[in-house]
Chain A
Amino acid sequence: GESVGLHLPTLSVQEGDNSIINCAYSNSASDYFIWYKQESGKGPQFIIDIRSNMDKRQGQRVTVLLNKTVKHLSLQIAATQPGDSAVYFCADNTGGFKTIFGAGTRLFVKA
């Protein structure tokens, strides 16, 4: 069945370094991918999304890369800051009504 998973459960980076969070998906019909950030005790917050007809999309300090050949996407955070510490989820949608979330990666930023 469909699944969206993450390669690593935790990631620790030094403040100021770039962070890369990876995600694999298995449903080749997925055509919309979203990254959410969840801070402790809060609901998920939208970061950036990408459609399957694109392979790269940039936002403010964040970039999402999509490789449909190997069913992989990544979230890159430039100049990581302490405020970036959170759990990051990738999610996918086949263009229908259901968005499926992965398990999440916890990002720790060391000062």
Chain B
Amino acid sequence: NAGVTQTPKFQVLKTGQSMTLQCAQDMNHEYMSWYRQDPGMGLRLIHYSVGAGITDQGEVPNGYNVSRSTTEDFPLRLLSAAPSQTSVYFCASGLGTGSDEQYFGPGTRLTVT
């Protein structure tokens, strides 16, 4: 199993540009989530999904959209990038509803200039 994969690993955007961060898992997990990690801080939940077609907001959802058309994929969209969105983004998946162990991807480092 590849586990949780994320692409790209690094990305630089200009303010106002849009892009999609990709996340895929091959463990047949129903639960998937997106976190952002700022320097010296913990992870903050952006959006999560408990199954295909079901998504909901986390702690810091503003400026981000998600969709879940398949069990495997959970892309994160930045509609109009802002410097405040400079961060490392982690995707994770888990068997349960979020109250279980989560498996994290390697992260995407995003810089918005």
Say whether B103 faces chain A, with CB atoms less than 8 Å apart. Answer: yes
Other A-B pairs beyond A43-B90, A44-B90, 20, CB < 8 Å: A32-B100, A34-B101, A42-B107, A43-B104, A43-B107, A44-B104, A46-B103, A49-B101, A89-B43, A93-B98, A95-B99, A96-B98, A96-B99, A97-B48, A98-B58, A98-B59, A99-B102, A100-B45, A101-B35, A104-B42
A103 to B38, CA, bound (A): 10
Q: Is the CB–CB distance between B106 and A43 below 8 Å?
A: yes
* CB <8 Å contact, B97 and A97: yes
Number of interface residues of B (CB under 8 A): 28
Across chains A and B, the number of contacting residue pairs, with CB separation under 8 Å, is: 66
A contact set with B: CB distance below 8 Å? 4, 9, 31-32, 34, 41-46, 49, 89, 91, 93-104
Tell me the complex Cα distance, A32–B104, Å.
18
